[in-house]
Amino acid sequence: MNIKETLCKTALSASTLPGLTYSLNPYRGCTHQCAYCYVPNVLRIPREQWGTNIDVKTNIPVVLVKELKTKKRGVVGISTVTDPYQPLEKKYELTRFCLEQLFQHDFPICIQTKSSLILRDLDLISRFSHAEVMISIGTLNDEERRMLEPNASRISERLQVLKECSQRGIKTTVFFGPIYPTLQIEDIPILLDTFIDHHVSEIMIDRLNLKPGIWENINKYLANQPNLQGLFLKNIMQNKNYYPCIREEIKKIGQKKSLKITDAFS
């Protein structure tokens, strides 16, 4: 792995994502190495370099201090093109340092992560006037997770994060996406009950979008799992009704269970 310490010129970038004013990304690249990650397409990074070449923006807290003096108050998304709590954060603590500065200026925050490392910072996050933690989960099957998200936290650990955030009074949301195409209609009630049991009242859903290179990458990760590979192929590329049916059922059952269900990119 090639880790490069770099200097950034800006910390807060304008965000076009719904509900966010700014995005803040302490790292460029991510060591979770999720097979379906779309960010290489967005940043135009060769997919073979993604997850192995990481830029660490060592001066981002200092740059943030300067920007917060003049920026209009708005919701900061942490992060939008990397995971702010990927394993390198344990050493560099850049996300923590940035949170300390955002807290001083009372900027609302929305953190999205797949990592239980966020538990380290709940003492600080819980002190914000407005904070939301969104945990990304695409499947409850940890064997599937291990194959396609090899360096991300276990599903059980992510669920525990949701519960501990809620217990501290922090708003929690599940980003249920990309939905693994192994999910069956009959699994949905148990899935939603699991989220409810971990104190979640809002779920954002998204399909597995096949931007250029993603299917080929998934194929490599599933090379030794022909049955799973075949199921992915069928429900992503052949069965055009798969996701619409799953989406409709999630929304229908979610309404019965008083869960707020929204589309990630409507």
How far is residue 200's CA from residue 193's CA, in Å, rounded to a whole number? Answer: 9
Q: What pLDDT sits at residue 265? A: 78
Strands (DSSP E) found in the chain: 2-6, 13-14, 22-23, 27-28, 53-57, 76-78, 109-113, 131-137, 171-176, 202-205, 260-263
Query: What are the residues whose beta carbons fall under 8 Å from the beta carbon of 202, sequence distance 6 or more?
Result: 172, 173, 174, 259, 260, 261, 262
Is the CB of residue 170 less than 8 Å from the CB of residue 160? no
Q: What angle do CA 27, 29, 32 make, to 5 degrees?
A: 105
The residue ranges of the chain whose pLDDT is under 70 are 266
Q: What pLDDT sits at residue 266? A: 63
Which residue in 178, 183, 194, 190 sits closest to 228, CA to CA?
183
How far is residue 136's CA from residue 203's CA, in Å, rounded to a whole number? Answer: 10
How far is residue 122's CA from residue 88's CA, in Å, rounded to a whole number? Answer: 18
Q: What pLDDT sits at residue 46? A: 87
User: Which domains can be identified in the chain, with CATH numbers?
Assistant: 2-263 (3.20.20.70)
Q: What angle do CA 176, 178, 183 make, to 5 degrees?
A: 75
* Dihedral (CA of 32, 86, 160, 192) sign: negative
Q: What pLDDT sits at residue 164? A: 97
How far is residue 64's CA from residue 105's CA, in Å, rounded to a whole number? Answer: 11
How far is residue 47's CA from residue 197's CA, in Å, rounded to a whole number? Answer: 37
